[in-house]
Amino acid sequence: MTLAGGKTQALANLRQAVEGLRPYLSSTDEQAALLLIEETAARLAEPQAVGVTGLMDFDPTRLSHLMEITGPELAVELLARLTEDLTATETSLLSGAGGRNWKALREGSHVLISLSGSVGAISLQTMAENLNAIAHSQDQDALDRLMPPLASELASLIRLIRGTRPAGGATR
């Protein structure tokens, strides 16, 4: 079996397992966790375009400048921290959206506004600002419309940061 075929089969098995588990989950937290699994599986099933950031508006000079002012000796740590913080924010926002936790969405949006803006993910920063307003107004319909593109861009930014290497070829 090819790598792509194996991935497709494994994702199909995961979807089947999720459906088999669904009748046994009753709490909101359990349902939210299951939703995260389904969303992650859907993202994994999406084709990955080579050389495309996946961000509607990205200014790579901001990330480059951030790494430049950090210096080569700390750039590896910077990238690791960015990855860690963005991944934690992604988890918090997806859980908050699934569980309609407006406080978590407000808090996560603040973090995402800062992180995305500092690395040049302009469109993601705008979406995070919109998410903050939505969380304050507790607008369920607007949240449902915003989360899929926001989650997609956030996942793209995480992939971009993970794939970034400091000048000089140092690795994490």
What residue segments make up the domains of the chain, in order of their start? 3-45, 60-163
If pLDDT is split at 50, 70 and 90, which confidence band does 30 have?
confident
Instruction: Report DSSP state, residue 45.
Output: H
**Tens digits of residue pLDDT in 68-124:** 999 888 999 999 999 999 999 999 999 999 999 999 999 999 999 999 999 999 999
- Tell me what percent of the residues of the chain surpass a pLDDT of 70: 90
Judge whether residue 52 has pLDDT over 60: no
Distance separating alpha carbons of residues 164 and 154, to the nearest angstrom: 15
Burial zone of 161 (CB within 10 Å; 0-12 exposed, 13-18 middle, 19+ buried):
buried
pTM for the model stands at 0.67
- Tell me what percent of the residues of the chain surpass a pLDDT of 90: 58
Distance separating alpha carbons of residues 107 and 110, to the nearest angstrom: 5
What local confidence, expressed as pLDDT, does residue 171 receive?
A: 45
Distance separating alpha carbons of residues 31 and 43, to the nearest angstrom: 18
What local confidence, expressed as pLDDT, does residue 2 receive?
A: 67
Judge whether residue 47 has pLDDT over 60: no
Task: Give me the count of residues in the chain.
Answer: 172
Distance separating alpha carbons of residues 4 and 21, to the nearest angstrom: 26
Judge whether residue 49 has pLDDT over 50: no
If pLDDT is split at 50, 70 and 90, which confidence band does 158 have?
very high
Q: Name the fold adopted by 60-163.
A: Four Helix Bundle (Hemerythrin (Met), subunit A) (1.20.120)
Choice between 168 and 20, residue whose per-residue pLDDT is larger: 20
If pLDDT is split at 50, 70 and 90, which confidence band does 136 have?
very high
**Helical (H) or strand (E) element with 65:** helix 60-70
Selection from 40, 162, 21 nearest residue 95 by Cα:
40
Choice between 150 and 55, residue whose per-residue pLDDT is larger: 150
* Sequence-separated (6 or more) residues with CB below 8 Å from residue 124: 55, 112, 116, 150, 153, 154, 157
**Structure tokens belonging to residue 29:** 């937290």
∠ at Cα 40 (50, 27), nearest 5°?
170
Q: Are 129 and 165 in contact (CB under 8 A)?
A: no
What local confidence, expressed as pLDDT, does residue 170 receive?
A: 45
Mean pLDDT of 147-151: 95
